Chains A and B, each alone.
Chain A
């Protein structure tokens, strides 16, 4: 797919089509439950409220993670960049786990702690990258490996020091379970995600230029330092709220942007919102599968686990095609 800028009309048309597809997936998601697939839920207001809240949360979290992945891939010019791989999700999980251990997870505590954890991880990543004059592709990945190792080790320490009851809850949360949010939590997640994605969209033009290289972006008038500040801040917010409400969900932030760039456009003004829509729809779909799996397992498979089970092989296939094709992309 070409990196050449699309016309505004072409972008609007593509986004319109994707939005329509997204709404269809959300609608189908609302109709899928643990017992049946169909319109029965529409006649039960209490059930419908719950289902709707869960589907909306999945859409919000999926959109946030995919937008973050798309942004990080463009900013770092690294196709493997994703909040999970780079340790940002791990940082958020560490923040959340510490909040649970310190008894500060009530109310906004968990959201705030996860966002601070994500921000800390992002700041550390940015600090390393700022000092890597050579711009080595492996640097962000190595920082991510280190951050993840540290974060998960700390989470493990928290796990063995808290009560058995909290450990069970923490385990389910960390593996990535969308669940049924309280109205306040859903509202927080939706508002923060909307603000975060809006901030990223405001820098979509800069992102397209940053993909061509920092020097080129500077030459074309991009205030790189300011752009990075906004981008990293917005990404931290998005990952923080995604992790605090739904735990650690991997692969979505990696695959959704690639799918968009491979099939639609590499123009970030389209790729970024498109990735958000695709990510939102994908998580709604995975979560519906998790609910539907109840009949099979007498338990809901955590959505995050399902994402990885399906996402990892998909990514491996993509990788294999790239390797087999001589690394053309």
Chain B
């Protein structure tokens, strides 16, 4: 059995890191408890056994899996979702389901001493079930840069790799600073970041994409009062002033976006469409740094567009 001592270990690590990044919670994980959007360790009801760190971790989100491997803790991961595709080694691990269709029994059968989950992926009810079944859960959030930093630190604390986590956070911050100082917005004009088509879903204000772009002086083609991830009709797209469309979802959606642009804009007014050979800015996490270097190249005039 598991873990009150995560509390002590995490608190110590948090103090060392200079930022209180994990709030242990004994109360049931009602919506209000998670509203702060801070990493929280949710202990099983009535648990008193103490251990210092997690050795058998089930990850219920790709970004968590990716972070654990970056922290050199891949050997402690005993279960992942079928969407956990990075790094390649994670694909060989036992699967516990998707986001909202996680098999509770499968998780239990892997005998984890900690499950790392993201409530925003529709896993709130699952967290409660896991706690009731005696499994501590680390609830994580990662929709903003600040949340990504806390996510990495919290995972580092829970897996005894706090120092390495700080290095990853520092690398991420350096990449963001590098991106911002290059001022890609000065040349790119109004940028629209497309994360999905049919329907067209774009990055709006409050998203981590907007946060990073704003720091770098990139002007968003989405209105400031729009939702975080608004869905746009082709009509709305056609009436917007857009200079560059960044296809964040990657090459698979590039053709669909090209068709959309051809339908929505007359030839003379078509925005430049850019995409990398892999998805970028789709997963807020430690890999964002690498993504930003790619985006910087894509936003440079003349790059990334197709004739």
Contact = CB atoms under 8 A, between A and B. Distances in A.
Contact of A180 (B98, B104, B124): B104
B105 A47 contact: yes
Interface residues of B, number: 26
A51 B133 CA distance: 11
Contacts of A51: 105
B129 A165 contact: no
A302 B82 CA distance: 17
Contact of B105 (A50, A168, A172, A299): A50
Interface in A71-120: 106
B72 interface: no
Contacts of B108: 44, 46-47, 50
B101 interface: yes
Nearest to A40: B109
B99 interface: yes
Contacts of A34: 103, 105-106, 109
Contacts of A180: 104, 129
Contacts of B109: 33-35, 47
B269 interface: no
A9 interface: no
Interface in B92-132: 95, 97-101, 103-106, 108-109, 119-122, 124-125, 128-129, 132
B17 interface: no
Contacts of B124: 165, 169
Contact of B119 (A33, A35, A165, A299): A165
B100 A298 contact: no
A35 B106 contact: yes
A294 interface: yes
A50 B99 CA distance: 20
B98 A299 contact: yes
Contacts of A172: 100-101, 122
Given A35-B109, A165-B121, A50 B104 contact: yes
Contacts of B101: 172, 299-300, 302
B122 A165 contact: yes
A35 B94 CA distance: 11
A164 interface: yes
B60 to A, nearest CB: 13
Interface in A300-314: 300, 302
B158 to A, nearest CB: 21
A182 interface: yes
A182 B105 contact: no
B229 interface: yes
A39 to B, nearest CB: 14
A299 B82 contact: yes
Contact of A33 (B105, B122, B128, B133): B105
A50 B106 contact: no
A168 B99 contact: yes
A304 to B, nearest CB: 13
Contacts of A294: 97, 103, 106
Contacts of B99: 168
A176 to B, nearest CB: 13
Contacts of B100: 168-169, 171-172
Interface in B131-163: 132-134
Interface in A38-57: 44, 46-47, 49-51
Contacts of A47: 105, 108-109
Given A33-B105, A35-B106, A299-B82, A46 B133 contact: yes
Interface in A243-297: 291, 294
Interface of A: 33-35, 44, 46-47, 49-51, 106, 164-166, 168-169, 171-172, 180, 182, 291, 294, 298-300, 302
19 contacts: A34-B109, A44-B108, A46-B133, A47-B105, A47-B108, A50-B105, A50-B133, A164-B229, A165-B119, A165-B120, A165-B121, A165-B122, A165-B124, A168-B122, A169-B124, A169-B125, A291-B103, A300-B101, A302-B101
Given A165-B122, A291-B105, 7 more contacts: A34-B109, A35-B109, A46-B134, A50-B133, A172-B122, A294-B97, A298-B95
